[in-house]
Structure 1
Amino acid sequence: MPSQEKPNVLIVMTDQQRADLTRATGFGLDTMPALDALGEAGAIFRNGYTASPLCVPARVSMLTGRFPSAHRVKQNSTGEHAYFDRDLLDVLRDHGYRLGFSGKPHIHRPLEDFDAARGPYWHTGGPASSEQDEAFDDWLAELDHGVGAEPTPFPLEQQLPYRIVDGAIEVIEELTQEGDPFFCWVSFPEPHNPYQVPSPYFEMFGEDEVPERLAGPETREAKGPMFRWLGDLFESKRPGFDDQWRRYRASYYGMLRLIDDQVARLLAQLGDRAEDTIVIVVADHGDFVGEYGLQRKGAGMPEVLMRIPMQISGPGVRAGQVLDEPVSLVDILPTLCEMVGARIPDGVQGRSLAPLLRGEPAPPHEFDSIYAELGYGGVPYREDERPDLHFDYDGPTLDELNTVTMSGGTRMVRSGRYKLTLDSEGNVELYDLTSDPVELSNLADDPAHASTRADLVQLLGRWMIRVADDLPRGVYVPKTAPHHWRWAPAASTKESS
């Protein structure tokens, strides 16, 4: 039990971190040893999923416990339009927490809504406390979201994760002066592009150590028009961009280690307060990291974009758990509600994971599948179209290029070894993730898998009904169940209104 009445809460979020590139997930290189050790002291979810493979929709989902179709933020430019009853900040403030933030926001709330904040940081810079910081930020901007071919010519102290952790340490000191429990969200812009690291991280993982890709650029044809379009757009702006894939991957691994070292520095600074702190480590979404000959994100819902690292440790968490239940970013809010003794707000669609964290068995009917969303609506653009962007199609700049290929809408469900997606044009894709982890063989029209397709289409339909928004509240109040476990067997979960 924590020494204070309520535990502190620390959320560490990375941006665009693929889930399968740490030693704890079976990867051959030791990219994040400190976070692996932290996960071993708590619970690691091997099948964590984003709610949407795009920054702002995913982050709003985490804070509101709602999927994008409910909170209505489906692209990065519409965060201020989020629709919800009460979010994580509201819940924790109402329960006596002081709120802190350091890093990249990209959410629906202004930094003024926190009691102490450092930022905003973006992928090309943030608050600068020295001329050296300013020079580094200018250098980042000149890299133009590309891949650094040489070690970054600035010391570690100029890197954004270092400056963000400095800010987080200051924020936590401010928040704890009065003795109240604190919530601090530390949000790193990395390992999102631009892909760069200083020595020794640049040399830490050599290009000759980079494992072969599971799927190269030749597979884009099989993946369909959005994958082809994204690759062609990259190639038109930066010819030969995929030639750098080994350097891109090696630097990505180095960025992970740099982040890991800075999180370790933050946790060491917590000292005795760490025993009273729930620590959640998560990412907003994944990164191609060279699969399909692509960088970043922007096409489809492959596992490399949808699966995210997710681990929870601290008070109320039984140590040494590695859980296979599929879980989502939307589950974080209801989980924290239960762990701090708060009521889950109206309109929340996630499920509390608190019983699982305590070591209790998960009801299979509730935790045998997961759902996610993609797309900002409308009729999907064709790959020969050039809809308006906030930058020119000519020239090398490609900051938000990936969002062009997120038009229309797609919904995903995974259950066991199978995954099914359905888009707004009626296209169905079905994959066996065990035998086909990069999803190249579409089994949707295979007669041998007809029953699997039918079962998953029905399951997807149930999920889409489940996440239909029940806000605003009216005279008739929807019935809720403990932990928000709507599909748990009646024998193990007694519903209450």
Structure 2
Amino acid sequence: MKRLDRLLTRGDWIYLASLLVPLVVYNLVLKVVRIVTRPDPPGFLGFLDQVRSDLLFNLGFAALWIGVFAVVRGGWPRRAVLILFHLAVVVVVILTTSAHFFYTTTGSTLDLSFVLVSISSIGEIQGAIGSETTTLHWALVSVILFYTLAGPALLTRLFTGTWDPQPDAPGSPGRAPLTVGLAAVLLFSLSVVPSVTNAGNAFARDPLANMVVNEVATTEVEANVSPESLPTDTSLSPTPETEKRNVVLVFLESTRAESTTAYNDEIDTTPFLDELSEESLMAERAHAVVPHTSKALVATACGVPPPLDTQKTESEPGIIPARCLPELLEEQGYNSAFFQSATETFERRPQLVDNFGYGHFQAIEDMSKTGYQRVNYFGFEDEIMLKPSRAWLEENADDGPFMTTYLTVTPHHNYVVPQRYGTKKYSSDPELNRYLNTVRYQDFFLEKLFDQYKDLGLYEDTIFVILGDHGEGFGEHGLKQHDNTIYQEGLHIPLLVHDPKNPEPRRVEENVNELDVLPTVADMLGYRVEGGDYPGFSLLSPPEDRRLVASCYHERTCLASIDGDKKYIYSYGNRGEEYYDLSEDPEEKKNLIEEQGDKKIEDLRDDLLAWEARVTDSYEQQRPQEETTE
């Protein structure tokens, strides 16, 4: 007891304990909730292993501040320490709480880069936060913040009779602070020791420890992409087969293939899309490159992999290492327009659309909302685009060929179903049922859009490309929504090309992805691409032997390769490596990684990391080089 009194006064111990003890308990309770609510809760030893990191990290945090208070014992430095202590606790509470609700909502762990991006664009995510919180949540947050800021001083006053936790600090603490500091370092270090269970290191680690590890534990792979190999100087060259027909791209938000009738005849969500597929070229095994909308737009419109980050790099002027389809077609006399039923500024969409080369961009801010229902925190039901589309077409269609693009939003989380067509019962899971009904609504919009082109006499002279931007997860592999859903429910998307002049049904059995849309459109219009090569292939002649690559949206979270029916997933050590045979196991339930040779998996892993490095380098080369002066 005397040693403790020498380290800190009684007031200090009360002050620190009144904040650190509730903090440690709070963080541990959140972790326990995450553990016991997992689809596969562990046994007793697994539970101890999964809570170990959180316990050690929080004890290390407590030891750190005990050591700091012991060293800084008075004057203005002590007042500065008190302020920093409270700020640190507030930051820890905010981050651990955010990580907890992010995990319970999406099944993914939170990384620091995404936190920083979210802070820098708080206006974009405040709607998402609002959709997941209630008045009770905010009341609890207010109580917690009040106690965090005022509670320690009130308790210290109650038990010691003074507001100052250390009015007198006689003597020196000796070597005790050093010992406590070393203990803090040891506890922090032990908190990042990998898990020995199969829970996955990212989940098993304390949320803050995991953020740090993800930032520092990077796998550096060298990549030197030749500027000449990038399709930055391409153009479309007419041929005798060239026919300047209109082009329409329709992106179906968060639409996974298995939730559409065209790909799953056991569900009647999309009868129009199904009917259309009987007169279209349809890719049976189409995949997203990155399961995130802005990334999908880059891959599709520009024919190259998007930047593999959360920084919205793709919206920087001139950053895309390719010439995109709207720009290529503009040189051939095409007008172009991009419509979305989402808010204008979400993820810097105007800048992104401008990067693609579209001549006209219109979002809900410039659309009449009368009679249309808001369906989520950043958009309205998709039929809101029909009137602006008709107006633009009536004004511009007679001026020559055009390219239009429509980005829907209704099936996006939080799956609010527009009421104009009612609802149907598809699933006993309320959230999944709402989602499937939003997909059903989207099919009505698609049919009305086609009717519009028929009414205006534009249908026969137009090529339509309809595809999902990405899929959507509903806990099939512990993941929800899409950003990090690297399994087939997140990657397998519908992809149809409908040509009214050639309504013969055709099925593409080979693996394809969004990179193939640009070459397909050029091929169907009869143009030859000159001045460079895009990595995709025309769906009219896809290669049989081909390996597709995909990435999670969050950096250093996961990569996947699909070669025929074999799929490999690498998760940077955050969880175990995975290998599936999709022909025998389409739902990816049986991990065959242990049956594969070490050299085979090492080669697959190296190929994925090399691809990631090449994609990153291709964007770095587009950044303006800083001028140097001697």
The letter for the 1-side match of 2:390 is I
Aligned pair in 2 of structure 1 residues 101, 41: CA closer, same or farther (>3 Å)?
same
Which has the higher Rg, Structure 1 or Structure 2?
2
Contact 2:569/2:577 (<8 A) preserved: yes
2:384 matched residue in structure 1: 163
Aligned pair in 2 of structure 1 residues 323, 290: CA closer, same or farther (>3 Å)?
same
Q: 2:432 aligns with which of 218, 241, 249?
A: 249
Q: Distance in 1 between matches of 2:466 and 2:499?
A: 12
Aligned pair in 2 of structure 1 residues 111, 86: CA closer, same or farther (>3 Å)?
closer
Q: Distance in 1 between matches of 2:523 and 2:356?
A: 26
2:449 matched residue in structure 1: 266
- Larger mean CA deviation between 162-171 and 9-18 belongs to 162-171
- Larger mean CA deviation between 424-433 and 182-191 belongs to 424-433
Contact 1:96/1:181 (<8 A) preserved: yes
Deviation, structure 1 residue 73: 5.5
Q: Distance in 2 between matches of 1:409 and 1:344?
A: 35
Work out whether 1:422 is the aligned partner of 2:600: no
Q: 1:309 aligns with which of 494, 503, 508?
A: 494
Q: How does 1:43-442 map to 2 (within 5 A)?
A: 43-68=281-306, 72=307, 74-75=309-310, 77-81=312-316, 82-103=319-340, 104=342, 107=349, 108-110=352-354, 114-119=358-363, 121=364, 126-129=365-368, 133=372, 136-137=373-374, 140=375, 160-178=381-399, 180-199=400-419, 201-203=421-423, 205-206=424-425, 209-210=426-427, 246-271=429-454, 272-292=457-477, 294-314=479-499, 319-344=504-529, 349-356=534-541, 362-365=542-545, 368-375=546-553, 406-425=554-573, 428-442=577-591
What CA deviation, in whole Å up to 9, does each residue of 1:386-428 have, x standing for no partner?
Answer: xxxxxxxxxxxxxxxxxxxx23153211122220022444953
The letter for the 2-side match of 1:49 is H
The letter for the 2-side match of 1:443 is L
The letter for the 1-side match of 2:362 is R
Q: Distance in 1 between matches of 2:325 and 2:485?
A: 29
Q: Which has the higher helix share?
A: 2
Q: Distance in 1 between matches of 2:261 and 2:444?
A: 15
Aligned pair in 2 of structure 1 residues 353, 113: CA closer, same or farther (>3 Å)?
closer
Contact 2:280/2:504 (<8 A) preserved: yes
Contact 1:201/1:254 (<8 A) preserved: no
2:258 matched residue in structure 1: 20
What CA deviation, in whole Å up to 9, does each residue of 1:407-457 have, x standing for no partner?
Answer: 31532111222200224449532112234333343222225x668747755
Q: Distance in 2 between matches of 1:314 and 1:464?
A: 35
Aligned pair in 2 of structure 1 residues 54, 130: CA closer, same or farther (>3 Å)?
closer
Deviation, structure 1 residue 458: 7.8
- Larger mean CA deviation between 257-266 and 284-293 belongs to 284-293
Aligned pair in 2 of structure 1 residues 112, 172: CA closer, same or farther (>3 Å)?
farther
Q: Secondary structure at the match of 1:311?
A: strand
Deviation, structure 1 residue 109: 2.5
Contact 1:42/1:313 (<8 A) preserved: yes
What CA deviation, in whole Å up to 9, does each residue of 1:289-323 have, x standing for no partner?
Answer: 35346431233411111111101011685621122
Q: Distance in 2 between matches of 1:100 and 1:42?
A: 24
Aligned pair in 2 of structure 1 residues 437, 165: CA closer, same or farther (>3 Å)?
same
Deviation, structure 1 residue 196: 1.4
Q: Secondary structure at the match of 2:510?
A: coil
What CA deviation, in whole Å up to 9, does each residue of 1:333-374 have, x standing for no partner?
Answer: 122223334453666543231533xxxxx4423xx4322223
Q: Secondary structure at the match of 1:62?
A: helix
Aligned pair in 2 of structure 1 residues 440, 31: CA closer, same or farther (>3 Å)?
same
Contact 1:84/1:347 (<8 A) preserved: no
Contact 1:429/1:442 (<8 A) preserved: yes
Q: Distance in 2 between matches of 1:416 and 1:85?
A: 28
Work out whether 1:35 is the aligned partner of 2:269: no
The letter for the 1-side match of 2:358 is F
Identity of aligned residues (%): 24
Q: Secondary structure at the match of 1:25?
A: coil
Aligned pair in 2 of structure 1 residues 113, 279: CA closer, same or farther (>3 Å)?
same
Aligned pair in 2 of structure 1 residues 202, 318: CA closer, same or farther (>3 Å)?
closer
1:483 matched residue in structure 2: none
Deviation, structure 1 residue 468: 8.2
1:391 matched residue in structure 2: none
Deviation, structure 1 residue 99: 0.5
Q: Distance in 2 between matches of 1:284 and 1:439?
A: 21
Q: Distance in 2 between matches of 1:50 and 1:246?
A: 26
The letter for the 2-side match of 1:58 is A
- Larger mean CA deviation between 55-64 and 90-99 belongs to 55-64
Q: Distance in 2 between matches of 1:77 and 1:351?
A: 23
The letter for the 2-side match of 1:412 is A
Contact 1:16/1:285 (<8 A) preserved: yes
Aligned residues: 369
Q: Distance in 2 between matches of 1:315 and 1:6?
A: 14
Q: Distance in 2 between matches of 1:265 and 1:298?
A: 30
Contact 1:302/1:439 (<8 A) preserved: yes
Deviation, structure 1 residue 97: 0.7
**Unpaired segments of 5 or more residues in structure 1?**
146-157, 211-244, 357-361, 376-405, 474-497
Q: Please, what TM-score do these two structures have when normalized by structure 1?
A: 0.65
What CA deviation, in whole Å up to 9, does each residue of 1:185-210 have, x standing for no partner?
Answer: 0110121122111336443x21xx42
Deviation, structure 1 residue 77: 3.1
Q: Secondary structure at the match of 1:324?
A: strand
Q: Please, what TM-score do these two structures have when normalized by structure 2?
A: 0.53
Deviation, structure 1 residue 184: 0.5
Contact 1:47/1:325 (<8 A) preserved: yes
The letter for the 2-side match of 1:46 is E
Deviation, structure 1 residue 464: 6.5
The letter for the 2-side match of 1:249 is L
Q: Secondary structure at the match of 1:174?
A: helix
Q: Distance in 1 between matches of 2:422 and 2:431?
A: 10
Q: Distance in 1 between matches of 2:603 and 2:286?
A: 22
Q: Secondary structure at the match of 1:53?
A: coil
Q: Secondary structure at the match of 1:291?
A: coil
The letter for the 1-side match of 2:285 is N
Q: Secondary structure at the match of 1:445?
A: helix
Q: Distance in 2 between matches of 1:248 and 1:12?
A: 25
Contact 2:515/2:537 (<8 A) preserved: no
Aligned pair in 2 of structure 1 residues 131, 20: CA closer, same or farther (>3 Å)?
closer
The higher relative CO (CA closer than 8 Å, separation ≥ 6) is in 1
Q: Distance in 1 between matches of 2:324 and 2:356?
A: 15
- Larger mean CA deviation between 307-316 and 449-458 belongs to 449-458
Q: Distance in 1 between matches of 2:388 and 2:339?
A: 6
Q: Secondary structure at the match of 1:86?
A: coil
